[in-house]
Each structure stands twice: as structure tokens, then as C-alpha cells.
Structure 1
């Protein structure tokens, strides 16, 4: 006769099980747990803070509880893993947040009588380039970027625009496929694959100086950027357990690191070099280092449990415990199943093997109305939050002043908004954090529209800062919600769909920025107000797995 432990480990609940077999199997599981509880007075089970079993007794815990048990004394494994994965994530947004530098038009000089003077693009291109007109390479605001290397100074504007469009389309397409593939094939494989393709495509950009080749390679950059951002974010935070504050804190840290990348590029171009090649070499080097160390990072144990590979998941958890605590754990993993209205086995279930379309349809047909409402509201938050985020990034360029100072200004708004709202979220929750973020943008957006004719640049700068502050904070909460509000088996897919909505919003933002006043700011205010209202209906109960 099998022991209780063996019987428990042999229990399987099939997705195709009938009501009778489901009930029978579920009853067996309950009976085994009851016998274990009766036979062992030392057995401990806690929903919030699992403790070590006493006198050699075996703990029956969820995957989140098992991960928490590995962090009893130290969290070295989680910290090291987070640093290794976060470096490629940062590199995935470096060009996205700093592309205006790579497309910045150089300062030009023209000559009619042998003396050169500053001139505009139209006059420069009408003269004999290199003889009576030239690029002012000594000007501090002239960067040796794509415009110079790809000979785009006098090229049609659509060629320059094609570079940025290719990048954004790549991010959009990557959002469609990368997340679902991570649910099917695992976080680790997709993360390593996208990092490898990123290094190859960026290496080719150093030697293929052609605008059409660059457009294709930037498309690949965007696709792989989605992979590292979406999958890497989930991959890194899943080692902290879904019910802990660790995921929210680490998400905030990732957002701060990404938001600070424009400060890095500004410092690089302002004080160290004017060449974009140096930036790319740094990106490739850091991604390569992160890639090499990422090879030694195991698969997410939460993902392995979700696809039924319990032994592999437990072995990884044991290794985590050895690194953190220098001790092994004695536990059994169980998969908690919530049965609603006694019809769980009849529902159309969502499995990791489904594709994006099938998984989305399955999600729509799922009888869990709370999950569906949460999914719809989060998609709206992704769209509205990212629209405002990109809108203010583009609106900054219309502010007169130093381009380097304006870029640092926007980056500081992102960093401070991320840090402050991240703390607010820990104490007040995602719903109120969303509401506060959007309302900050509404209030300061209105003030900016009223006082935009103000001659005092400091007042305008302050209003722009706080308008950007709010939408940047809202975008952070989208990232936090993506990794905490959905179960593991659809987490990457829901993240991808939300990210897809955000990239879709990014396509519309430039259109409204270029519209006549007061349409741009009225649109920004309306979008932020709509986000504040919709956020109040969000259910923020963290799923137990």
C-alpha cells in the first residue's frame, strides 16, 4: 500500500476529467492531507508565512510558499539572478528612450563668400555639399549619429521616419508573439534566444551602413526588445514568489533602471563621445555579459510547476535554499484548485500549450468574471497609461531650450515618479496608485494648458515635469499589475496583450502631438481623466497559486 506522501504525489487532475473523476480525485487529495495533519502534530501550513517543519515533518506548501521558504535567512540567489537578468532588460529600451539623439539633425554651415555661417537644412542642401556647405562637427549639439553615417541630412523625411517606425512596429509585433511563446516554451529559452538575436542584429548595424538594412535590423531590435522586457521582467520577478512584496519592489527597480537610461546616454554624448558607435559597443558588451551569466540561471520554478514538472521545480528550489540558507527543505508541492459552483472541470481551461488566439478566446469564455473584468481594465490601463507616457516624451521636444537638459528633465520625472508611486503602491495598493497617478497628470495638464503662454521657463518646466511624472507612474503600475494580478499560466500572455495595447497607443500619440493647439493638451487631459475613472473599477486581489 502506498504511503500518504506517495499517494499525494501521484494525484493528477486532468484537464479532460469529467465531473465525477474530478470530484473523486479531489476527495482523495483532501483525505490524504487530513491524514497527514492528524498523524503529524508537527506539520505546519501557513497561507502567508510558511515556517520550517519541526522534527523532520514534511510541509505541504504552494509554489509561492516554497519560494518564500528559500528566503528565510538570505536572498542572495534572487538578488544575483535579478541583476543578471535586468542588464539585458535595460539594453532593450536604451535606443527606444534615446532614439531622438540618433536622429538628431546636425548643425549646418553654409558659405557664399568664403566665410561659413549657420544655415538651415534647405539652404545647406541647395549648395554644393562639402564645398560651399558642410556639417558643423565642432558644434556641441552635432552628434555623429545615423543622420550623418547614413547620409540622411538631405534625404526625404520619410527615410528618417522609417527608422523610428520600424522600431515601434518591431515592438508591437514582438508583443504579439513573445509572451505566448514564453508560456509554451519557458521563460529561460525565450529570454536567451531574444538576447542572442539582439546581439547579432546590433552587431550587423555596426557594419551595414544602409538605411533599409537599418530599418530591418531596428525591426528585429524591437521584436527582441519585447522579448527581453516582457519575458525578462516576468522571469526575474517569479523567483520572488507571487504573493510577496518582492515582485512589486523589483518591478519598481526595473522601471527606475530603464527610466534612467536617457541620463546615461545624455552623459555619454555630452561629456564622453559624440559617436553612436560607442553607445552600441557598450550595449553589446553589457548584453553579452548578461547573456553569458543568464545561461547559468535556471528556469522559473513557477513555470515548471504550472506545466507539471514538479521534480525539476523542487530541485531548483532546493538549490535556491542551499545558496541562500545553506540547507535543504523538506516539502511537498501541491496545486491549489478553486472549484466554483462545482463546474470547474466543465470550463474551457487555459493551458500553456495554447497559442495566443486560442488562449485569448479561452480567457474570454472563462466563467471567472472577476478575472475577465480585471483583464479588460488592465488593457485599458496599458493603452491610456502608455499613450500619456509617449505623448509627454514627444511633447518635450516642442519645448525650447537645451536638448540635453530637456532629456534629463524628462528622465528625472520618470525616475522620481516611479520611485514615489512605487512606495505609494506598496501601502495603498494598485487601484489607488493608478488613480493618484492619472489625477496628477490631469491637474498639471490643465495647469500646463492654461499657463503654456507663460514666459517664465521655470514654471513651464515644473508643469511639464509633473505632467510627465503622473503618466510615467501610471505606466509603472501597469508593469506591477502584469506580474501580480494574473495566474502563472496566462501571465506572459496577458502581459503581451497589455503591452500590445500600449504599443498600439504609441502609434496614435505622435498624431495628436502634431495637431494644432489646444487639441494636444486636451487629448492628454481627457486620456488621463478616463484612466483615473476606469482604474476605480479594478479588482486587485492577488491570485493564490
Structure 2
């Protein structure tokens, strides 16, 4: 596990990896838009009840909505106010139910049938379901589309990440963690700009999906993961892919077969496919599976809860979202530096603690100090987002190739539980209670990180036995 043989063959990050990264980064924009657009398509709305001319009064048969910020939304179109407020929370949460389902099914399919198949299917169907959601006439149809979007978002998030990290060498991982988040940052910055000019939720859905239908041609442009091909015994296909990549990266090709033989020797007598049961058969893998599952759940709960909370802060919703997005740029630079020079545990725990402390401070800031409140809320949200980045990397390094996508898929299922609950916590109605819950959950995630093995500068293990034999 000390030497990454495939890095020797194709390089840690050459022209070919850069090309694949560019394609995947572009294709992920619809995914990132769907993860962040809830503040614009299902916002909390202000209204005047024409029954008695009172603001935000319930029950209300004839609401007149404030359209100064958002002209039309799911909330206003289907009157998700008063006794229907829970339906608004459901509309927000159903995406995470879909992501949970997609993580479970597509994570397994990716380990069983290949990274490329799931990547292509997820990207294409996601665009289709987002477009359909923009034209449905009924709320229940929107919920179904929202669920199906989530399924494909789950597949995209997992398989794109794993495919690319398996194309790179171990020495490039600290830099990849920054590149991985560029689509998120760019989409997060551009989303409020698009939403500012397109203040109707239906056109907004179309504009943030249909232009990406060109991903259909990716079938001829992106490769299958050579690590996965070797692991499942597809030697000839792996040789073909590795020689092609090595040639483009100006590296020798005559040693490819010898390198594959070394990897195969390390993988000897191991299973070629995986199931979720493999996550619980051996002591270390079983322990790491449960720990990472709860870390993902706590991380998701904090991040997606605060993502919606930012949209509810006083002030201009578009400016608030833009400011929170801008904080991710310097934060991402710090992530790259910490990933390269700090241990994984130190980096992850620091992010969770920063989120927890920032939220605690936020509770005690007077309401009239709006700028200070916004600053600490954004710091907490940014730290929660960065912790998600660290958690992805940490998890992908803890688990071996044969169950890597399955493990991340299982952990991501738990993350969806956190994301599903988050809107209901936001809507509790007592601000300090909501913030205290988000803060406490962040501290719990930091504590759990202590029980994972340190993985900095280690070669990705290919088999369960390699991870079981490794020092904790």
C-alpha cells in the first residue's frame, strides 16, 4: 500500500485527467444548482391576507404574496402556507429522500457495473427530470419529480467523485479536493445572479438544466475507471484504458501490463464484486462504516439546514446568498493547504468545531447587528460546507476500491436523513433552538472523527483485507 502503481503508469494528474475533470466539472452544474436552489424555488414567503388585511395571518383563504424578491415560487403557486407549511418542508426534504435512494441503488450499481455507466445515466436523467419538474401542473407531480431528481443527484455526486479520484494518483489528492469543489462554488455564485434576473421558479429550473443536455456525448469522451476494471478482473479493458491515458500523458506504455500484474497480485483471491453486506463482515470495516455514516448524517444536517437558513436572514436574499458563496473561495484555498500539510483528522475536526462555535456565537449576537449576525451565520455555513469536502475525501481514503462506492453510498444514505430533517428544524419557529441543534450536531461529528484511521499520504487500498491489515 506504500506505492500507487497506477500513478506510476499514467501519472498523478496529466493532460488526460485534466480533460476528464473539465468534462465532469461542467456536467455537475445542474446537480449543484438543485442542491442550492431551494432558497429561490421553495422560499419562505411574506403575504397579506386579503380576508382581513393582516400580514402573514392564518388561516388565510385569499393571500396576496410579496413579489418584490421572488415573483413566483413553489410556495406561492400552491399556497404552501399556514396548515400547508409542512408540505413546503416536505418539498424541500423530498430531494434528500431521492438522494438517499440514489446513493443506495446507484452506489451499489457503480461498484457492480462500473463508474462510467452510472455517471452517464445519472447526468442525463437528472437533466430530464429537472426539465419535467418545470412544466408539471400539480404539486404531487412536482414532488415525484423532485424525488427522481434527488435519485440522479445521488448518483452524480458519488460516481463522478469516485471515477475521478480513481483516475488520479495519491499524491494529487490534496489538490483534487479543491478542484472537486470548483463546480459547487461557481454554481453557488452564479445561482443568485440567474435567480435575480429569472424570478419565476419554472424558467429557473429550465435554465439551470436544459443547456447541459450535451452530456449525452460523454459516452464517447470519458473512460471507465482502470482501478475498477482491474478489481473486477477486466484485465484487457484495463490495459487498453491505461495505455490510452499513458500515451496522451506522454508516459511509457510498455510497462503497463507489468504494473497491472503487480496490482493483481495485491488483489489475489479477493471478491470481484461487492454488496452492502461486505461493509459489516469484518471488524474494522464495520466500525468505520457506522462512524462515517453518522458523520455524514451530522454534516449534511448542519450544511443543508444552514443553507436554507441563510435565505431567511434579514436583508436582500440574493446578496445574502452571494456573500455566503463568496466565503467558499478563501475557505477552499485553506482546505487545499490543510489537506496537503495537515492530517485528515485535524482538518475535518477543525471544520466541524469552527461551524459549531460560530453558530453558538450567532445565538448571542443582538438582532440589530445584522451584519455581524450574517457574518457568523455565513462562517458557520462555510465551515459546514468545507467539512463536507473533508468528509468526502476522508471516506474515499478509508474504504478500499472494491467497496468504495458502496461505502460512500451507504454513508450518503445517512446524510440524506440529516438533510431530510433539516427543513423541519429550520421551521421549529424558535431561532435559538434551531441554531443550538445545528451547533450541537456539528460538535458530535467532530468527536466521531477521532475514531477513524489517519489516511493522509496513503495509497488507496484495493481490498478489504488490505484495510483490515493496515494500522489504525
> How far apart are the structure 1 equivalents of 2:290 and 2:85?
38
Residue of structure 1 equivalent to 2:190: 264
Work out whether 1:120 is the aligned partner of 2:36: no
CA contact (8 A) 1:176 1:497 kept: yes
Work out whether 1:465 is the aligned partner of 2:400: no
- The structure 2 residue matched to 1:99, chosen from 35, 38, 61, is 38
Larger radius of gyration: 1
> How far apart are the structure 2 equivalents of 1:526 and 1:111?
41
What SS class does the counterpart of residue 66 from structure 1 fall into? helix
Residue of structure 2 equivalent to 1:297: 222
> How far apart are the structure 2 equivalents of 1:444 and 1:147?
30
1:277 to partner: Cα distance: 3.9
Residue of structure 1 equivalent to 2:11: 71
Work out whether 1:364 is the aligned partner of 2:289: no
Residue of structure 2 equivalent to 1:203: 131
Work out whether 1:494 is the aligned partner of 2:407: yes
CA contact (8 A) 2:93 2:421 kept: no
Note closer, same or farther for the CA distance 1:201–1:526 as it changes in structure 2 (3 Å cut): closer
> What are the superposed Cα offsets for residues 182-234 of structure 1, whole Å, 9 maximum, x if unpaired?
00011111111122222322232343222111111111000011011111111
Work out whether 1:86 is the aligned partner of 2:2: no
1:431 to partner: Cα distance: 0.8
1:104 to partner: Cα distance: 3.0
1:390 to partner: Cα distance: 2.2
How many residue pairs match? The answer is 455
> What are the superposed Cα offsets for residues 414-465 of structure 1, whole Å, 9 maximum, x if unpaired?
444333223212111211101211221233233223x233532222222222
Residue of structure 1 equivalent to 2:208: 283
Note closer, same or farther for the CA distance 1:515–1:398 as it changes in structure 2 (3 Å cut): same
> How far apart are the structure 2 equivalents of 1:503 and 1:403?
25
Residue of structure 2 equivalent to 1:35: none
Note closer, same or farther for the CA distance 1:515–1:414 as it changes in structure 2 (3 Å cut): farther
> How far apart are the structure 1 equivalents of 2:447 and 2:44?
41
Unpaired runs of at least 5, structure 1? 1-45, 49-63, 113-117, 128-132
Residue of structure 1 equivalent to 2:440: 526
- The structure 1 residue matched to 2:84, chosen from 139, 156, 173, is 156
**Counterpart mapping for 1:99-498 below 5 A:** 99-104=38-43, 120=55, 122=57, 126-127=61-62, 139=68, 141-147=69-75, 156-241=84-169, 243-245=170-172, 247-270=173-196, 272-325=197-250, 328-331=253-256, 332=258, 333=260, 334-335=262-263, 351-352=272-273, 354-356=274-276, 358-359=277-278, 363-366=279-282, 369=284, 371-449=285-363, 451-453=364-366, 455-498=368-411
1:512 to partner: Cα distance: 3.6
Note closer, same or farther for the CA distance 1:314–1:149 as it changes in structure 2 (3 Å cut): same
Note closer, same or farther for the CA distance 1:109–1:295 as it changes in structure 2 (3 Å cut): farther
1:373 to partner: Cα distance: 3.7
Residue of structure 2 equivalent to 1:57: none
> What are the superposed Cα offsets for residues 134-164 of structure 1, whole Å, 9 maximum, x if unpaired?
6665x3x133333455576799334434422
CA contact (8 A) 1:387 1:502 kept: yes
Coordinate RMSD, CA, aligned: 3.1
> How far apart are the structure 1 equivalents of 2:281 and 2:374?
48
> How far apart are the structure 2 equivalents of 1:532 and 1:300?
32
CA contact (8 A) 2:95 2:146 kept: yes
What SS class does the counterpart of residue 70 from structure 2 fall into? coil
> What are the superposed Cα offsets for residues 251-305 of structure 1, whole Å, 9 maximum, x if unpaired?
33222421442321211122x3323344333333343123323442121111100
Note closer, same or farther for the CA distance 1:200–1:388 as it changes in structure 2 (3 Å cut): closer
> How far apart are the structure 2 equivalents of 1:136 and 1:512?
25
What SS class does the counterpart of residue 143 from structure 1 fall into? coil
> How far apart are the structure 2 equivalents of 1:490 and 1:426?
25
> How far apart are the structure 2 equivalents of 1:110 and 1:498?
44
> How far apart are the structure 2 equivalents of 1:431 and 1:82?
27
CA contact (8 A) 1:441 1:467 kept: yes
Unpaired runs of at least 5, structure 2? 463-472
> How far apart are the structure 1 equivalents of 2:439 and 2:282?
35
> How far apart are the structure 2 equivalents of 1:111 and 1:453?
33
CA contact (8 A) 1:170 1:222 kept: yes
1:65 to partner: Cα distance: 2.3
> How far apart are the structure 2 equivalents of 1:206 and 1:516?
33
Note closer, same or farther for the CA distance 1:338–1:375 as it changes in structure 2 (3 Å cut): farther
CA contact (8 A) 1:109 1:124 kept: no
Note closer, same or farther for the CA distance 1:160–1:394 as it changes in structure 2 (3 Å cut): closer
**Which structure dedicates a bigger proportion of its chain to helix?**
2
CA contact (8 A) 1:421 1:437 kept: no
TM-score w.r.t. length of structure 1:
0.75
